[in-house]
Structure 1
């Protein structure tokens, strides 16, 4: 995935708005709405989106338009997908493509769309005990952390960030059997892990958005950049959004889920994502709008709905 800012957002609205499948209607009459006033859409999503408060900005216009509420449940990607597998979620917003593809291939998800991206960064104490600062070689950086036995705080929760972290160690040829007491599994969300890393010292892997949103609360620095700032593509962090398949769970609110996907991937939703900042720092970059869209929708063979 080439990381670059979408410069055409402003003009894209007039070009692609009509072509976005499932885009939310804007009428005020009840007949134009997919749901009745008072309905609730359950969204399971990652702590990295929840902790940045982006969803407060995104969900408010949708809720006002349709007279519904969005119940946001923040979990690691793995847990969010498991909640959806159980039929306790209508739509999922996550960032671990391998887990998303498995979810889709198993028939639990329908109509996946690319949503937005940022990147991962390796952050840690300013004294940088493993001397990894400014490097672009991720395997070399994690190897140095292991060789110096510097504290590394892992999410340890099967989240998208944890999945990416395991890819880093694997790329360096370091197995879990080589982790010593320096390697700590927190089993917590991104915000909690950043606080714990700050308190205990050492390093962790964070999505850039959560790190930037908490930058004033912690004393950690970015030591290895992701592709947003010219770093390696290995640290790219794309987010997707998926409706739960109503052929598997007929209790899910599929119509409202597709209205939400249509809204959040529309020019309106993408502009909110693109313009959302904390202390002047852009946290996420829009991904759904493209001059040459490449839709990858998975429809399970068994689904005849």
Structure 2
């Protein structure tokens, strides 16, 4: 019998495996990096969806929950494969520069202005701009995420619409944190803040904050899924990104999104939008 010409140490390993009757196992599952917002994480939605995706496809998802601005920056640098974000103007800039492909609607909920039950600035029931004007006029403490997230971007637009320059004011404080942590800070300080509805409902029992302004068209909060452009970043997992995006807009998952939160909170945390016109 001819002995294969392996290097000495390699032959010892091969021989040992053969004697032990061992064979190479199945390949490790492919990993997929999802950059998304803290609201999808803090609301519990991803805990519902990602295990289903992993079971159905064999991918293993690494979720990085940051502000939309940071998630988009990761996509721009090729550090994520797929993005689930809610900052439409910043998303459009990403698409225009060619860093993302196949941007699709997934769902929406809305932003809400929260504050203590005592409502010292008397904002209850006012439209968003008028409510923020009242906060500023009363020098009431307002807690901002200050993290370039989709929520922070929307908040800055609302301040501009209200004609108020909040940054630099003593009553205006920024956390630099995600939505759940910012809500905790606002609750501790009995302050006002802007939140997406899903995260608030998921944490409501711990907070002691109330919804004081809602329903304004300016408070709409829309989520899209974007695949990172593999032409610009050849090392991204383009196939996995497409599989995850397709999963989010599939009929079954859209039904799950429609029903998510009803049993626990009495109302859905998000509303499905796949296939609808922008």
> Does the alignment reach a TM-score above 0.5?
yes
1:47 is displaced (CA, Å) by: 0.3
Matched residue of 1:103: which SS?
helix
Find the residue that maps to 2:177 and give its secondary structure: coil
Alignment of 1:288 onto 2:274? yes
For 1:172 and 1:130, locate their aligned partners in 2 and report how far apart those are by CA, in whole Å: 15
8 Å CA contact 2:37, 2:65 repeated in 1: yes
What SS does the corresponding residue of 2:124 show, helix, strand or coil? coil
Task: Check if 1:146 corresponds to 2:136.
Answer: yes
Cα shift at 1:68:
1.5
Distance 1:232 1:185 in 2: 24
1:81 Cα offset (Å)? 0.7
Match of 1:91 in 2: 82
Which deviations, in whole Å up to 9, do the C-alpha atoms of 1:207-263 show, x marking residues without a partner?
0000000011110000001xxxxx211000000000000010000010111111111
> Residues 218 and 176 of structure 1: is their aligned pair in 2 closer, same or farther, counting only changes over 3 Å?
closer
**Secondary structure at the counterpart of residue 204 of structure 2:** coil
Which of these residues, 126, 138, 156, is aligned with residue 146 of structure 2?
Answer: 156
Q: Work out whether 1:206 is the aligned partner of 2:190.
A: no
Verify the 8 A CA contact 1:267 1:289 in the aligned structure 2: no
Aligned CA RMSD, in angstroms, stands at: 1.3
The answer to whether the Cα contact below 8 Å between 1:276 and 1:282 also exists between their aligned partners in 2 is yes
Which residues of structure 1 form unaligned runs of 5+? Answer: 1-35, 226-230, 297-305
1:139-197 Cα offsets, whole Å, 9 max, x none, are 111011001000000000000000000011100111246x4210001100000110000
Higher relative contact order (CA 8 A, sep 6+): 1
2:43 to 46, 52, 70: 52
The number of residue pairs the alignment matches comes to 250
Which structure shows the bigger proportion of residues in helix conformation?
Answer: 2
- The ranges of structure 1 where at least 4 consecutive aligned residues each deviate by more than 6 angstroms after the TM superposition are none
Counterpart in the other structure of 2:65: 74
Q: Does structure 2 retain, via aligned residues, the 8 Å contact 1:266–1:289?
A: no
Aligned partner of 2:175 among 158, 171, 186: 186
- Tell me, in whole angstroms, the C-alpha distance in 1 between the residues paired with 2:169 and 2:62: 40
Q: Find the counterpart in structure 1 of residue 164 from structure 2.
A: 174
User: Is the 1:95–1:160 contact (alpha carbons within 8 Å) kept by the matching residues of 2?
Assistant: yes
SS at match of 1:217: helix
Aligned residue for 2:155, secondary structure, equals helix
Inter-partner Cα distance in structure 2 for 1:176 and 1:147: 11
In structure 1, the partner of 2:217 is 233
Q: Does the Cα contact within 8 Å between 1:121 and 1:235 map onto a contact in 2?
A: yes
Partner secondary structure for residue 206 of structure 2 = coil
Q: 1:121 aligns to what?
A: 112
Match of 2:250 among 266, 276, 284: 266
Structure number with greater Rg is 2
Cα shift at 1:279: 3.0
Structure 1 partner of 2:7: none
